[in-house]
C-alpha cells in the first residue's frame, strides 16, 4: 500500500445547507484522511492522502465514502495533488 494524494470536489444536493453540517458524517464514514474545504456555498472539496494499492482504488473508495456521507452529491472535479 502506498499513499495517493488527490482532491475531489462535489456539488451538494442542497445549496441552502451549511457544508460544515456534513463534516462529522464525512469523518465517520472514512474521510478522516482528508482535509475538508467548505469555502464555497453549495460545494465541498476534500484533499485526500489515502493509502491504497492503486490510484484507482484510492480515488474510487474516497468517492464512495463521500457518496455514503452525502447522498445525491455530484462529483464535479478530481485532480491529482500538485
pLDDT at residue number 68? 97
Whether the predicted pLDDT of 34 surpasses 90: yes
**Sheet with 34-37: strands ordered across:** 34-37, 43-52, 2-11, 74-80
Whether the predicted pLDDT of 16 surpasses 90: no
* pLDDT tens readout for residues 42-71: 999 999 999 999 999 999 999 999 999 999
In angstroms, the CA 82 to CA 71 distance is: 29
User: Cell numbers at residue 40, please?
Assistant: 464555497
The residue-averaged pLDDT of 75-79 equals 96
With contact defined as beta carbons under 8 Å apart, do 62 and 70 qualify?
no
The residue-averaged pLDDT of 25-38 equals 96
Domains in the chain (CATH in brackets) are 2-80 (3.30.70.3400)
Rg (CA), the chain: 12
Whether the predicted pLDDT of 82 surpasses 70: no
In angstroms, the CA 70 to CA 1 distance is: 27
Amino acid at each position: 500500500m502506498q499513499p495517493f494524494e488527490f482532491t475531489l470536489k462535489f456539488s451538494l444536493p442542497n445549496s441552502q445547507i451549511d457544508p460544515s453540517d456534513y463534516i462529522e458524517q464525512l469523518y465517520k464514514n472514512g474521510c478522516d484522511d482528508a482535509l475538508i474545504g467548505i469555502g464555497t456555498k453549495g460545494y465541498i472539496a476534500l484533499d485526500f492522502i489515502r493509502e491504497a494499492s492503486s490510484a484507482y482504488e484510492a480515488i474510487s473508495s474516497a468517492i464512495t465514502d463521500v457518496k455514503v456521507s452525502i447522498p445525491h452529491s455530484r462529483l464535479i472535479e478530481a485532480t491529482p495533488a500538485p
